[in-house]
Amino acid sequence: MLFLLLSIGLSVLLLLNFRLFPRYNLNTFQAIVFNYPVCFLTGYLLLPADQSFHIDFAQTWTWLALGLGVGFIVTFLLSGASTQRMGITATSLANNLSLVIPVCFSLFVFNAASTKAGSGFDAFNYLGLVLAVVAVGLSTYKEESKSDKETNPMNTPKSRRMGLQVLLPVAVFLCYGATNTMINYMNLRYIPSTDKTIQVTLTMVIGAVVAGLLMLTVRLVQGKETIHPRSLIGAVTLGVPNFLSFYTLLLALSAFNGNGAFVYPTYNIGVILLAALVAALFFRERLSVANKVGLALAVLAIGLISWQELAA
């Protein structure tokens, strides 16, 4: 449980970084690109003394890990496009509701729930899973302001004819769900012991580094970007907790025998609860009635999903 709590806290720290970047005039895109080399250095420093990092292209998991790294960048791009063209509400819901994909794979494909605390999912666990989906939707729901509606491209006649834009939130939903599912699969299939977790994580980061730097190079050549040295500050404050949050999530999956049906709902809801608390305390963000109901359901959902662990 400790690793899961650490992953939740570190993930909220990432959100704080993104919230503070505009205040300090940091280029978010470049901070994200450069954060992956920082992630690699962080993981490399955490390597056990008896291990050295190398990429073995003969291993299947190496290619899966590199592909996952590229998937992280692609998902980020889709999130940005969806936010700009379909609005924050649709994109946020697509992101958080994607937890149902790894959970369903964990339950019905990987069958990891059968190892959970020596017993399978019961009626309370399934009820908690349903409430988790509802809670995530209500907790992240935001009504668009009048200005947002006026500037939303979907309100223009031209955009209404561009029906394919509706698929952007669907793509975000599928990509987030697919990457989390693959992480769970790799944890079950290719990380039999925790001493290999950093090796696998570093390989994923390499894929993200290559994809991110390639993206940045293209934008520099096109004249859409100029390097901002201040972004390196954001890369450090983002990269260290980014690696550690992902690393501790993998350790949490290992600690719960790869049981994504328990880990992912608890992780997602935990991040939402802690983020809401931090936002209220430090940024004076106000919650709507739907948000408050969602947070209350989230607490109940966590209790139902994890009651075996809490009672053990």
Token pair, residue 43, equals 């993981």
* Cα angle, residue 78 at apex, residues 266 and 108 outer, rounded to 5°: 40
Note the pLDDT of residue 118: 40
Domain limits of the chain? 2-45+56-311
Do the beta carbons of residue 112 and residue 258 sit within 8 Å? yes
Note the pLDDT of residue 158: 52
Token pair, residue 261, equals 């049906």
Instruction: Calculate helix-pair angle for 88-97, 167-190, nearest 10 degrees.
Output: 20
Note the pLDDT of residue 113: 47
Cα distances (Å, whole numbers) of residue 302 to 101, 140, 262: 18, 17, 9
Note the pLDDT of residue 66: 92
Can you tell me whether residue 231 is helix, strand or coil? helix
Do the beta carbons of residue 94 and residue 82 sit within 8 Å? yes
Cβ neighbour number for residue 227 with a 10 Å cutoff: 12
Note the pLDDT of residue 193: 60
Note the pLDDT of residue 115: 46
Cβ neighbour number for residue 286 with a 10 Å cutoff: 8
Note the pLDDT of residue 283: 79
Cα distances (Å, whole numbers) of residue 29 to 77, 86, 154, 250: 10, 20, 24, 26
Note the pLDDT of residue 94: 74
Do the beta carbons of residue 10 and residue 244 sit within 8 Å? yes
pLDDT tens track, the chain, 312 positions: 899 999 999 988 888 887 888 888 888 889 889 999 999 999 999 888 877 888 888 888 889 989 999 998 888 778 767 766 766 556 666 777 777 788 778 777 776 544 444 446 788 878 888 888 888 778 767 665 555 455 455 455 554 445 567 678 888 888 988 998 888 888 777 765 666 778 888 888 999 999 999 999 999 999 988 998 888 899 999 999 989 998 898 888 888 877 777 787 888 788 878 888 888 888 777 778 887 888 888 788 877 877 766 565
The position carrying tokens 């050295």 is 52
Cα distances (Å, whole numbers) of residue 28 to 110, 123, 135, 206, 225: 36, 43, 29, 20, 12
CA 76/CA 70 separation, integer angstroms: 10
Note the pLDDT of residue 114: 46
Do the beta carbons of residue 276 and residue 133 sit within 8 Å? no
Residues 6+ apart with CB under 8 A from 50: none
